[in-house]
Amino acid sequence: MTGLPIYIENDEKSNEIRKQIVDLIPKSHKTYTSTQLVVDRVEGVHLWNPEGREFIDFSSGVLVANLGHNHPYFEERYAHYIRNLPRNAYNMLTEIEVTAAKRLIENLNHKKMEKVLWSACGSSGIIKAVWAAQHYHPDRHIILSTKYGFHGKKGLAGDITGEKSQNPNVRWIDFIMLADQRDEQEHLNRDYRVAEQLDALKREYPNQISMLVTEPYLGAKGSFHPPSWYLRQLNDWCSENDVIFILDEVQSCHGRTGEMYAFQKHGLDPDLIVMGKGIGNGEPICAVAGRADVLDLMDYGEASDTFSGNPRGCAAIVAALDTFEKFPIVENCHKMGGIVADQLYKLTDEFEFVGQARGEGLVWGLEVNAYAGKSANEIANELVLQAYHHGIHLIGPLAGNVLRISPPLIISHSEVIEGFNRLCKAFDVMSGMDG
């Protein structure tokens, strides 16, 4: 994390690229991993570095490549839709934008999903959703956010990320973080705490709360997945108090949790949904969908930017939806999610330095403990490096000590088993380092 280039033995071409990246690009632009994998080509769930070594992708980019890399049907449909279109249409209109909005609204299949507001990234989408809610309640200044979420780094998205804010109008409520989500009794014991917090805030700020922003699960904090009753409790409270309920599905949309959308899985009724990551299978396109009476309040230009709703992003959305409709992507995610869970629970039983496994669908976190005189963060980073040496690509640890396991949704049973065989060998190496 010093900014010095990472050197890995026998990675001659990759090491040179790592060095040039450090020489030319500030480290603040990159996230740290102990590998800094250099990718030369990709296909399906497989990556190759310039040396020709193959890796199974357990990151999906960062929950972006839900359909895997270079999916042939997606690429064919995408090429079809972008034919003869401009790369940008900031001051023009294109039919593909209409098609993308219609298809997305149809796919959401919810009475409140009436209009779509585009953005170029997840944090921008969150900001625009917050702007819309502020316009709907111009006389209410309090924004509620659930603790430890990650909604982005910029502006209002950064203000509602984490548990503290420099924005004087942000207030926090607890997010249910279960040590082991299989513990049903723990679910029941924590049922009423959040309702009490919400009612206390209502009393403290009567008719001043404009919105509540939350996520279906905490990704960046270490993969904490709450029970459905918790999210419904937030949703119901908002409905009862005319508070705009904003659901951040940037990480969860388009099949990641084992359903096309997490709001469907949990039986929610959000006013606005922010979608990103996998919505265009890698193209920089995100969307806010929701109530027309909320989204229509901003005037010309108030929510515009240069690249939002660009033709290629819209084409990617339509191509992705075509692919989801033609192939059983979501069903495969649900099925493979159960196999991944079984494999992860085996790791928790076998290795002393592995703690809880938490997740759903194909987004899981594997907690790492301190071991052999090393901190949990040190062990986690060494495991990422050992996974690299055994042909598994992981991102850097979440929250310092949680390994995210999130392969593309198209991964097959044999690829899951092969991936975990490799991961187990990497963990064996770490286990042998004791003493």
Angle of CA points 336, 420, 48, to nearest 5°: 95
For 218-261, what is each residue's pLDDT tens digit?
999 999 999 999 999 999 999 999 999 999 999 999 999 999 99
Which of 26, 50, 27, 55 has its CA nearest to residue 38?
A: 50
Q: What is the pTM of this model?
A: 0.95
CA separation for the pair 61, 295 (Å, rounded): 31
Residues 226 and 176 sit within 8 Å (Cβ to Cβ): yes
22-65: pLDDT as tens digits: 999 999 999 899 999 999 999 999 999 999 999 999 999 999 99
pLDDT tens-digit map of 251-288:
999 999 999 999 999 999 999 999 998 899 999 999 99
Is residue 183 predicted with pLDDT exceeding 90?
no
pLDDT tens per residue, range 286-321: 999 999 999 999 999 999 999 999 999 999 999 999
The type of residue at 110 is H
Question: CA-CA distance, 400 to 64, in Å (whole number)?
Answer: 21
102: number of Cβ within 10 Å: 12
Q: Above 60 in pLDDT, residue 189? A: no
Q: Which fold has domain 72-326?
A: Aspartate Aminotransferase; domain 2 (3.40.640)
- pLDDT tens per residue, range 372-394: 999 999 999 999 999 999 999 99
Domain coordinates in residue numbering, the chain = 12-63+329-431, 72-326
How far out from the chain centre does Cα 219 lie? 7
CATH code of 12-63+329-431, in short, is 3.90.1150.10
Cα–Cα distance for residue pair 192/90, rounded to 1 Å: 48
